[in-house]
Amino acid sequence: MGTTSHLAYEMVTDAFNARDLGRFADGLADDVAFQGPGDIGGEGKTACVAFYRGLFDAFPDARLEVHDVHVADDVTVEEGTFTGTHTGIARTGRAVALDYVQILRSRDGKQVSMSLTLDRLLMLEQLGLAGDAGERP
């Protein structure tokens, strides 16, 4: 059996891949803080679920492919690839595959902190919203 931190991580990740926001919310502390690339972030379960609802609206087939997980006490570091097709709001119809690192902290079996890092420029390039890195003006 895994540690409480690992079990909390698994619950949230499995709920994400199932696009089950109710179960996702069950894995969050009421005072969860979340931070994403750039100015994305917020505090509280309601705000966190709203952010992920928006993500699922934009990428209805969003999926996390986890490559590695490291757990130490209340901290879990997840390395993986986010994939999805931008067919929702303001759709481009393009697929993305983005490597990411997420650092999670848990308390009493719930996520209290979620910090996601990924390459936003690569995402914009894959969506066709920014020039290819190899292009020169």
Instruction: Give residue 10's identity as a one-letter amino acid code.
Output: E
- Candidates 73, 68, 76; CA nearest to 27 is 76
Residues with Cβ < 8 Å from 134, sequence gap 6 or more? none
Domain ranges of the chain: 4-126
Helices (runs of H) and strands (runs of E) counted in the chain: 4, 6
Both tokens of 26, joined, read: 């069950």
| pTM, two decimal places | 0.87
Give the pLDDT confidence score for residue 1 in this predicted structure: 42
Average pLDDT along the chain, 137 residues, taken 10 residues at a time: 76 94 96 93 96 93 96 95 90 95 95 96 92 56
CATH number assigned to the domain with residue range 4-126, chosen from the 4 options 3.10.450.50, 3.30.530.20, 2.60.40.730, 3.30.420.40: 3.10.450.50
